[in-house]
Amino acid sequence: MTKPKSARRESPVGRRRGGTESLGREQLLDAAVVVFAERGIGNTTVAQIARAGRVTSAMVHYWFDNRERLLDAVVDERLAPLITRIWDLPSGQQETPLEVIRGLVVRMLDVTEQVPWLPALWLKEIIQEGGLLRERVFKYIPRERNADFRRSVQRAQQRGEINREVNPDLLFISILGLVMLPMAASKGWQRYNPGGNLDRAQLEQHVVSLMMHGLAESAPKRQARARAIGE
């Protein structure tokens, strides 16, 4: 299907159109991220995306001249806003580093609850070397905010508020792993552990507990447990 030159100039990637055409394009992007998460980008055809989005392959080519432009739109319009939400620290509110860490965990869980395709897509196409969205997504990582986060953790370590053995450079990627990997692997894990049921509340409790307290039981709890056994 050939587009008039004027249509090409008026429809750059990322611009929202009005009316039915806009709804069709948005529906197609929503379908694309789900299919990419399920199959991987390299294993996905235009026909599969079109079928999932309930449009024709010709319309996919109409909205996106090639796969690169489609991937640009997926990152710019679907993934970038999620990254902004995760790093959107409350304005005008002073939080301790531990509160910031917990906030990152909660917002990350909020996002994955809203868009359950994200963990699998993150695992397949963003975090691993050679992922087809990797470089596109990295340009949206708020580097200065990330650096501020690491510096605040370092200052908290100097004050004795955070374990000095924790590596500030690895902390955010550790949070990502603790949230995203269980979500991405949950369906497969349930096949091997049929009785297991991973829900949002359980995962939040687990991740926050690991982040805040680690694996070792606190001294007061050990003492209380010892007294209970003695009784």
User: Do 57 and 91 fall within a single domain?
Assistant: no
2 φψ region: left (φ > 0), alpha (ψ -120 to 50), beta (else): beta
Of 4-18, 70-84, 188-202, the least confident: 4-18
Same domain, 148 and 50: no
pLDDT at 39: 96
Q: Is the pLDDT of residue 66 over 50?
A: yes
Per-residue pLDDT at 24 exceeds 70: yes
* pLDDT score at 89: 75
Task: Give the model's confidence band at 229: pLDDT under 50 very low, under 70 low, under 90 confident, else very high.
Answer: low
Q: Is the pLDDT of residue 84 over 50?
A: yes
pLDDT score of 85: 95
Residue 1: pLDDT over 70: no
Task: State whether 163 and 102 are in the same domain.
Answer: yes
Residue 132 domain flag: yes
Residues 60 and 84 grouped into a single domain: no
The whole-angstrom separation of Cα 168 and Cα 173 is 10
Query: What is the per-residue pLDDT for 147?
Result: 94
The separation between CA 11 and the C-alpha centre of its own chain, rounded to angstroms, equals: 28
Reported confidence tier of residue 91, pLDDT bands at 50, 70, 90: low
Q: Would you say residue 103 has pLDDT above 50?
A: yes
Which residue shows structure tokens 């969205």?
133
Q: Which domain holds residue 199?
A: 78-225
User: For residue 22, is it within any domain?
Assistant: yes
Residue 169, domain member (yes or no): yes
Instruction: Please state at what angle helix 97-114 crosses helix 168-192, rounded to 10 degrees.
Output: 40
181, burial (CB in 10 Å: exposed 0-12, middle 13-18, buried 19+) = middle
Residue 82 CA to residue 21 CA, distance in Å, equals: 24
Is residue 85 located within the same domain as residue 30? no
Mean pLDDT over 109-138 rounds to 95
Instruction: Please report the pLDDT score of residue 130 as a whole number.
Output: 92
Is residue 128 packed enough to be buried (19+ CB in 10 Å), middle (13-18) or exposed (0-12)?
exposed
Tokens 């690169």 — which residue? 68
Q: How far apart are CA 83 and CA 180, in angstroms?
A: 13
Residue 6 domain flag: no
* Helix residue ranges per DSSP H, the chain: 5-10, 19-39, 46-53, 57-63, 67-74, 80-86, 97-114, 118-121, 134-138, 143-158, 168-192, 200-213, 219-230
> Could you read off the pLDDT of 158-192 as tens digits, one per residue?
999 999 999 999 999 999 999 999 988 877 776 77
Residues 41 and 83 in one domain: no
Domain count, the chain: 2
SS3 category, 111:
helix
- Structure tokens that stand for 112 in this block: 């994955």
226 vs 75, more confident: 75
Q: What is the mean pLDDT of residues 49-60?
A: 94
Cβ proximity of 37 and 118 under 8 Å: yes
Residue 226 — very low, low, confident or very high, per pLDDT cuts 50/70/90?
low
Task: Give the mean pLDDT of the chain.
Answer: 85
Confidence of residue 196 (pLDDT cuts 50, 70, 90): low
Least confident of 30-39, 64-73, 159-168, 206-215: 206-215
Q: Are residues 104 and 209 in the same domain?
A: yes
Q: For residue 80, what are its two tokens?
A: 């970038």
**134 near 192, Cβ under 8 Å?**
no
